[in-house]
Amino acid sequence: MKRLFTRDNAIRLLLIVALGGTVWKGFLKTPEAASHLRPKAFYDDLVNDGENTAIMKERHRDVLEATDKAVRVRLDELRAGVYVPGAGSLVSEESLVRAIRKDVATRARAVDDEVRAWEKLERARRLEASGWRMPLGCSPVAAAPASGQAAPGGEGGQ
C-alpha cells in the first residue's frame, strides 16, 4: 500500500508553499498590486525612498563643498609658501587647480542630482495626495497610422 504522507511529499509541500509565498511577496512589490492591495505601505515606501534620496544627495553635495574648500585652502597655503610639498609629492599648484576645476563640475552635477531628488519626493507626495492607483493590465496598442500619414513623433510614411 502506498503511503500518502511521506517525508518526500512533506518536503514537496513545503517547497510549494515557500514558492507560493515568494511569488505572492514579489507580486506585492509591483506597483500594480501594491497600489491596490496595500496603498498605505506603497505610498509610505515611495515617500520614504524620496526622502532618503534627497537627504543622501544633500549630504553628498555638502561633502563635495567641504572637499572643494579644503583644496582651495591647500592651494592658498601653497601659493603663500605656508605649505611646501615634500620631495616626490604628487601635490602641485597645477594638480590643485585641476582638482578645483573637477570639483566645480562635480558639484554642479551634485546640485542637479539634489534638485531631481527633491522633485522625486514631491512627485511621490502628489501621487499619494491624489490617491493614484496603477491600473491592472496593459493599455491597448494604438492603431497603426494609414500609409502616408505621420506617426506620432515620427516623420511620415517610409
What average pLDDT does range 5-33 have in this prediction? Answer: 92
Measure CA 11 to chain center. Answer: 39
Position 83 in a domain = yes
Tally the residues of the chain.
158
Report if pTM > 0.75.
no
Residues 6+ apart with CB under 8 A from 80: none
Question: pLDDT confidence of 156, banded at 50, 70, 90?
Answer: very low
Question: pLDDT confidence of 43, banded at 50, 70, 90?
Answer: very high
Q: Look at 3 and 125; give whichever has higher pLDDT.
A: 125
Q: What is the pLDDT of residue 88?
A: 86
Position 63 in a domain = yes
Position 27 in a domain = no
Position 5 in a domain = no
Position 146 in a domain = no
Position 139 in a domain = no
List, as own/partner pairs, every contact residues 65-69 make where C-beta atoms lie below 8 angstroms and the sequence separation is at least 24, other chains included: 65/107, 67/103, 68/100, 68/103, 68/104, 68/107
Give the domain range for residue 94. Answer: 39-130
What average pLDDT does range 143-149 have in this prediction? Answer: 59
Domain count, the chain: 1
Question: pLDDT confidence of 149, banded at 50, 70, 90?
Answer: low
What gap in Å lies between CA 58 and CA 74, rounded to an integer?
Answer: 25
pLDDT in tens, 1-10: 678 888 999 9
What average pLDDT does range 135-158 have in this prediction? Answer: 60
Position 119 in a domain = yes
What gap in Å lies between CA 76 and CA 55, rounded to an integer?
Answer: 32
Position 93 in a domain = yes
**pLDDT exceeds 70 at position 48:** yes
pLDDT in tens, 55-64: 999 999 999 9
Give Cα separations from 18 to 7, 22, 28, 37 (angstroms).
16, 6, 15, 21
Q: What is the pLDDT of residue 152?
A: 52
What gap in Å lies between CA 44 and CA 53, rounded to an integer?
Answer: 14
